[in-house]
Amino acid sequence: MSDTNQPDAVADAQSGNWVDRYAPAWLKPYARLARWDRPIGFWLLFWPCVWGLALAAVASPDLGFDWWAAILMLAGAILMRGAGCTFNDIVDRDIDDKVARTRSRPIPSGAVTARDAFAFLVAQALLASVILFQFNRFTVWAGVASLVLVAIYPFMKRVTWWPQAFLGLAFSYGALVGWSSQTASLAMPALLLYCGTILWVIGYDTLYALQDIEDDALIGVKSTARLFGDHVRPVVAVLYTGAYLLWMAAALLVGGGIVFAALSLAAAALLAWQVWTVDAEQPDNPRFRFDSNKYVGIILALALLAEWVW
């Protein structure tokens, strides 16, 4: 395909990212499909995996934290996030063409055909399956089950006001996988961690969706940002509060205490800052609040690891 069909950059990517600056021309549209130019997504998919691993380490200190599993899960998060975004772009290609922020993406801009995008999707999924099969059988089946959530998510914005809830179910799955990779089972602490992470995802993706609220209204796409309307701040505050309380309950059930409680307050403060300062009228304001959730992931991971070490 001719390079002249490629846009210089994608509108909703940060300027100066490594894909725009360094990737060869043939790779750029595929890297943009997989969102390699926006690593925030795979970090948000990866950190719940670490939380699950660390929670299992706190529950069984002698077992320790499985660093090799964390490395595998990072690679898996990059691949699965890329596959999910590619699938989402294939499904949403007609919608993306009508939204200012997304019409420069590879498929609606003509840089990649839907057929080539599907081949790229399959390649990423196959590589991710190789990683998944490094874990125990229970985790393999749990990972396979998550594909149902990945498959239905792109369609939810057409049928429900709660597509962010389905994203939460899919994007939080690492909390279960991280725990089960160490225990070959599920238990209440992992389920509480998962439920808390779902609320977190709904909250941060609601803030992210504020960017598209006008375009979504014009083309009939549903979102919690539109559903909550003028009540976005208090509702997201409730979601974040619920997330934090469930995370705390999960830590307490495995024997966590003052170390996790004290360190995790920094994550709570960051979530409060997002709610307090979000302003959809300011360009890039919601996206910056959304992006700051990678630090929430880091803080909670460090808090759980510190609790394990302590």
For 91-105, 114-128, 168-182, 200-214, which range has the lowest pLDDT when averaged over its residues? 91-105
8-34 pLDDT, tens per residue? 556 555 556 788 888 888 888 999 999
Q: What is the pTM of this model?
A: 0.91
Tell me how far apart the alpha carbons of residues 71 and 185 are, in angstroms, rounded to a whole number.
21
Could you give the percent of the chain with pLDDT greater than 70?
95
**Where do runs of H (alpha helix) occur along the chain?**
18-22, 28-33, 40-59, 67-91, 93-96, 106-109, 114-132, 137-159, 163-171, 173-183, 188-209, 213-219, 224-228, 232-253, 258-277, 285-291, 293-309
Separation between Cα atoms, residue 154 and residue 174, nearest integer Å = 19
| Paired tokens of 148 | 């149902």
Which of 126 and 216 is assigned the larger pLDDT?
126
For residue 274, the tally of other CB atoms under 10 A from its CB is 22
Q: What is the pLDDT of residue 276?
A: 97
- 189, 250 contact by CB (below 8 A): yes
Tell me the pLDDT of the chain averaged across its residues.
91
Distance CA 165, CA 198 (A): 7
Q: pLDDT tier at 6 (50, 70, 90 boundaries)?
A: low
* Rg value, the chain, Cα: 19
Taking only the tens place, the pLDDT of each residue in 239-295 is 999 999 999 999 999 999 999 999 999 999 999 999 999 998 898 899 999 999 999
Sign of CA dihedral 114, 118, 124, 125: positive
- The closest of 277, 274, 265, 263 to 306, measured between CA atoms, is 263
The confidence band for 157, taking pLDDT boundaries of 50, 70 and 90, is confident
- Tens of pLDDT, residue by residue over 88-117, are 899 888 877 777 677 788 888 888 999 999
Distance of CA 174 to the CA centre of its chain: 10
Say if residue 198's pLDDT is above 70: yes
In the block, residue with structure tokens 């302003």: 279
Residue 200 or 7, more confident: 200
Inter-CA distances, 204 with 84, 119, 269, 292, Å: 18, 31, 14, 9
